[in-house]
Amino acid sequence: MSINYDEQIPNNVNLSGDKRLQRALEKWQPAFLDWWNDVGPVGFQKDDIYLRTAVSTQPGGWAQFGHVKMPDYRWGIFLEDADPNRTIPGGDHAGEAVWQEVPGEYRNTLRRIIVTQADTEPASVEQQRWLGQTAPSMYDMRNLFQVNVEEGRHLWAMVYLLHAHFGKDGRDEADDLLARRSGDADKPRILDAFNQPCPDWLTFFCFTMFTDRDGKYQLGALAESGFDPLARTCRFMLIEEAHHLSVGELGVERVLRRSVQLTKADKNGDARAQGGIDLPTVQKWINYWYSYSLDLFGSEISSNAADFFGAGLKGRWNESKDFTDHSALNQHYTMAVVRNGSLTEDQVPLRNAMNEVLRQSYMADCERVVKRWNRALEEEGTDFRVSLPSSRFFRRQGIYAGHDFNREGDLIGSETWQKNSASWLPSDADRAYVASLMHAVTEPGKMANWIAPPRKGVNGQDIAFEYVRRA
């Protein structure tokens, strides 16, 4: 169905056909705008930003680009078209017709799943609200704001489901989504990574690379849900999400390239002496954000994950395409667990290992990016290579939390951890150094010294295009 921009809330769900729902969402809309103005990007709400807006949900050519003031962005409700023949991809109901309404017995669980996903969307906007002030270029600033408005739209996507399918409870949850605040002591966001500050652009690039990529896999699992409106919502969100991931991947790549160039330019091979970010520092940021993002998948062994899968509420990545046995029963997953102070292998019923199965898909995706980063390092002429730490390293959630592991994933004593963690994770001095480099570069086409220019601009525009027109 095509997108209707004539209504107050753009949508492709025939919103005007349900007046009660339309009115309820029109009441939520000004609260959303208040939230955006309060805790969205600081200092750029009056400027014209070159942004894309969804005009259809068909892949390829779905977006229109133009200069827009962010508060005027047309946030709306866009679901992928329904497939009348779609069946439930996995679990006990696999092969049955998908649900268009929430099944009563899964109502609370499904609401929790949707709220947890929804909460991450405004949280990331809050985390990133100060970054516009120190953007390394107008091009990067525009990308930041594109990510921000789309996270706002993802919030709309989830709030629509809450309003349309969960009655009063859903409307209350939608209100609460605007009341929690990232990092707030009293009303924090639900997941820990979304309460971490995002004070510098290296963090932003690592966050969009690793944490938004967790989002990709969570959305992918929900795109395999038996609750069809959720699956269709997530399918379209995934198309938008791809841009966020590329901002992160290419951002880190540009930092790496520049780091090598500055290392070579310095007579002592010291990138910091040339005002750059040295490669070992980038590696520390990777260690930190990769580990934090791994936590978001939940515990390796989880009866909740088994229940979600069994009920058909969540699937594996590409459940309908990549698997033949959709029951996941009578199968086991081999997992390393800590027992009596050492690592041993356990056989876990596959359904209970579904968080880990999804995490493994994510990890393989991250590895592919690391390969591309290392190709870039090779092109720049260095032997230095970046890598991902073991998935046991620096975990605060799941079965490895509470134990110390080195980057290779070997169990180590806490003394060894104390001695080495400063060389594995960003220290206060590292953070202060990176923060000291963060100064806005506002001349179109110019880049901060610590980052290489991108290969190309946005939507065929020049890198020196005026992506942000200051008011």
Report in angstroms how near the CB of residue 248 gets to Fe ion at its nearest: 9
Options 212-220, 250-258, 393-401, 438-446: segment touching Fe ion (CB under 5 A): 212-220
Taking the alpha carbons at both ends of the chain, their separation in whole angstroms is 36
Q: Are 107 and 161 in contact (CB under 8 A)?
A: no
Report in angstroms how near the CB of residue 324 gets to Fe ion at its nearest: 31
Using rule CB under 5 A, residue 212 touches Fe ion = yes
Neighbours of 404 (CB within 10 A): 19
Q: How far apart are CA 352 and CA 306, in angstroms?
A: 5
Count, residues near Fe ion per rule CB under 5 A: 6
Q: How far apart are CA 150 and CA 152, in angstroms?
A: 5
Burial of 467 (0-12, 13-18, 19+ CB in 10 A): buried
One-letter amino acid of 380: E
Options 12-20, 118-126, 247-255, 325-333: segment touching Fe ion (CB under 5 A): 118-126
Options 20-28, 207-215, 266-274, 447-455: segment touching Fe ion (CB under 5 A): 207-215
> Which C-beta is closer to Fe ion: that of 121 or that of 278?
121
Report in angstroms how near the CB of residue 289 gets to Fe ion at its nearest: 14
Options 100-108, 242-250, 308-316, 388-396: segment touching Fe ion (CB under 5 A): 242-250
**SS3 call for 67:** strand
Q: Are 216 and 245 in contact (CB under 8 A)?
A: yes
Between residue 271 and residue 290, which ones bind Fe ion under the rule CB under 5 A?
none
Q: How far apart are CA 119 and CA 189, in angstroms?
A: 7
- Backbone Cα Rg of the chain: 23
Between residue 66 and residue 105, which ones bind Fe ion under the rule CB under 5 A?
none
Query: Which residues on adjacent β-strands are paired with residue 4?
Result: 11
Closest CA relative to residue 48, chosen from 67, 30, 65, 29:
67
Using rule CB under 5 A, residue 180 touches Fe ion = no
Q: How far apart are CA 248 and CA 143, in angstroms?
A: 10
Options 23-31, 169-177, 241-249, 311-319: segment touching Fe ion (CB under 5 A): 241-249
Report in angstroms how near the CB of residue 151 gets to Fe ion at its nearest: 5
Q: Are 30 and 37 in contact (CB under 8 A)?
A: no
Using rule CB under 5 A, residue 165 touches Fe ion = no
> Which C-beta is closer to Fe ion: that of 441 or that of 458?
458
Using rule CB under 5 A, residue 244 touches Fe ion = yes
Structure tokens at 410: 């070997």
Report in angstroms how near the CB of residue 179 gets to Fe ion at its nearest: 19
Report in angstroms how near the CB of residue 243 gets to Fe ion at its nearest: 8
Q: How far apart are CA 232 and CA 230, in angstroms?
A: 5
Report in angstroms how near the CB of residue 219 gets to Fe ion at its nearest: 8
Report in angstroms how near the CB of residue 301 gets to Fe ion at its nearest: 27
> Which C-beta is closer to Fe ion: that of 212 or that of 249?
212
The secondary structure of 235-250 as a DSSP string is: HHHHHHHHHHHHHHHH
Using rule CB under 5 A, residue 119 touches Fe ion = no
Residues 136-155 as x/- pattern, contact with Fe ion by CB under 5 A: ---------------x--x-
> Which C-beta is closer to Fe ion: that of 147 or that of 328?
147
One-letter amino acid of 119: D
Report in angstroms how near the CB of residue 121 gets to Fe ion at its nearest: 5
The secondary structure of 363-401 as a DSSP string is: HHHHHHHHHHHHHHHHHHT------PPPTTTT--SSTTT
Options 109-117, 239-247, 262-270, 453-461: segment touching Fe ion (CB under 5 A): 239-247
> Which C-beta is closer to Fe ion: that of 212 or that of 430?
212
- The footprint of Fe ion (CB under 5 A) covers 121, 151, 154, 212, 241, 244
